[in-house]
Amino acid sequence: MNYTSYPTIAHASQGGGFFMTIASIAASLLSFYSLLIWLRIVISWVRIGQNPLTHWLGRIVDPYLDLFKPITALRRERFDLTPLAALALLSVVQSMLRLYGTYGRLTVGMVLALILHTLWSYLASPLFWFALILLGVRLYFCYRPSPRAITYIAMLDSMLGGLLNWVQRLFYPGRAINDRRLVTTSLIITLALYLASSALVKALVTLASRLGF
């Protein structure tokens, strides 16, 4: 979060130095904890076997990550995005502490701006990019079909089925179209939604950060 968005409170508080220092220290600790979570995620991706490092990381971060496992909307058979929700919450709290540690106060507008920015950065934007990458790969297989590609297409369709069905119902109701056209349309629509959403979130963050309460 860019703290220069709050010029009106840059010198809002000269007191409360002790609590501001505590807040800054807590923000730094949360930043380090977030780094440990990222390390845990990377290790799980590369499937490093059990060793003292993975055991130590698991003992520290897994209890926190497990709190977000019930969010089924972010979990699918082949991927788990609940760590992004865990990181998003940490980011909001860390940013709030850092803002208080810098300026000595928080406003409703600042908190709203932080929440909007974090939800976009850690959840919405990665989901858009994930969908765009999958659609790009799916479009590649439309132009380069092969017997081996059938397995990959089935895997991609299992993750993109909801989006493809939505585009089919919205733009081609009751019509039979080939995969190439459907995937291309879905890719264009997803990209347009991403750009529009990004602009909207930036405008809302700017508006919220200027609230005086």
Q: What is the pLDDT of residues 123-158, one digit of tens each?
A: 889 889 989 999 998 888 888 877 777 887 888 878
pLDDT of residue 33: 92
With a pLDDT cut of 70, the percent of the chain lying above it is 87
pLDDT of residue 12: 43
Amino acid at 87: L
In which band, very low, low, confident or very high, does the pLDDT at 6 lie, cut at 50, 70 and 90? very low
pLDDT of residue 11: 45
Whole-model pTM? 0.71
> Which of 179 and 5 is assigned the larger pLDDT?
179
pLDDT of residue 9: 42
Q: Which has the minimum average pLDDT: 94-108, 129-143, 188-202?
A: 94-108
Q: What are phi and psi of 6, to 5 degrees?
A: -120, 60
pLDDT of residue 16: 60
pLDDT of residue 196: 96
Tell me the longest C-alpha to C-alpha distance in the chain: 70
CA dist., res. 122 & res. 81, Å (int): 10
pLDDT tens for 115-126 read: 898 888 888 898
Q: Does residue 15 register a pLDDT over 70?
A: no
Closest CA to 44 of 151, 36, 85, 67: 36
pLDDT of residue 1: 53
pLDDT tens for 33-58 read: 999 988 888 887 766 666 677 788 88
Reduced to 3 states (helix: H, G, I; strand: E, B; else coil), residue 211 is coil
Amino acid at 41: I
Amino acid at 129: W
In which band, very low, low, confident or very high, does the pLDDT at 77 lie, cut at 50, 70 and 90? low
One-character DSSP codes across 141-206: HHHS--TTHHHHHHHHHHHHHHHHHHHHHHHSTT----HHHHHHHHHHHHHHHHHHHHHHHHHHHH
